[in-house]
Amino acid sequence: MSKIGFVTIGAIDGGKSGAFYDAVFGALGSERKLENDGWIGYGVIGPGKSIMDCHTSICPPHDGKEARAGNGIMIAYQGKTPGEIQAAYAGGIRNGGTDEGEPGFRPPEEEKGFYAAYLRDPTGNKLCLFCLA
């Protein structure tokens, strides 16, 4: 079985996107591992400061064109608890994100199972923040 090694997300404004992802990933147990030449890399809190310690990088597109959100593309990041999901969502919204679905169980009438929130980063990329509760 293979797994995703890392994700790269294009950003129009690295400063705004950095603030957004600092808040979102900080609530989910990750931190900014590096920042270099327009790239910001995030990984699990702990030692290590190389690109190989990063699960997600925010950067300008390699082709030099303006970043834009992909229609139909969504990246899902897993947290441990509904509280983490709520904190990540709130931090993202406070830092330039836009709502695509407030935290709650899916489907809404459930009281356990798939707990998720949906939002877009400052560039318009769609994220799902979820846990199994």
Domains of the chain, earliest start first? 7-63+72-132 (3.10.180.10)
- Tell me the pLDDT band of 87, cut-offs 50, 70 and 90: very high
Give the Cα separation of 117 and 69 in Å (integer).
Answer: 18
Angle at Cα 120 formed by Cα 116 and Cα 125, nearest 5°? 115
pLDDT at 125: 96
pLDDT in tens, 12-53: 999 999 999 999 999 999 999 999 989 999 999 999 888 889
Tokens of 44: 């699990």
Q: What pTM was computed for the model?
A: 0.91
